[in-house]
Amino acid sequence: MKILILVLVLLGTSSSLFVQTNFSLTITITGFSSNDGKASIALYRVSDHFPGEKTQYKGKIVSIEHKKAIVIFENLPKTKYAVAIFHDKNKNGILDKNMFGIPLEKYGFSNNARETFSAPSFESAAINLDKNKSIAIFVK
């Protein structure tokens, strides 16, 4: 009987050791004017320079189908993240801008955060990844 109780206690405490600590983030992106080019997606943590070029935590480039793109980041640690996306219509790997620095290609951020004359802050675009999540971002 003592052994049975001991086994049950060990099973009960060991199940709490299997708490999920990594999660997936599924992003559905809409607002593309065509299927031309690729969608460039950058994922940032608070410690990364948001939304700087080549400073992201993880990045992916995906095809656009039916004027929509879907990307999944898996095995992400629990923390806050912000997402920046642009439509690389000419597939040159950069967000093209005019001579005044105004983007010529569509772009968007998590929480659909927007500022008038600059990129949003990390906090305005931040999502707390504490479970598997799906978000939608509209590029414009």
10: in domain: no
79: in domain: yes
CATH code of 120's domain: 2.60.40.10
Per the structure, the count of domains in the chain is 1
Going through 11-126 in order, the beta strands assigned E by DSSP cover 22-30, 38-45, 58-63, 68-77, 79-88, 107-109
106: in domain: yes
113: in domain: yes
Tokens of 37: 């080019």
Domain interval for residue 63: 20-138
61: in domain: yes
Instruction: For residue range 12-64, list pLDDT tens digits in order.
Output: 544 445 677 899 999 999 999 999 999 999 999 998 999 988 899 999 999 99
Its pTM stands at 0.85
Distance CA 22, CA 123 (A): 21
What type of residue sits at position 98? Answer: N
2: in domain: no
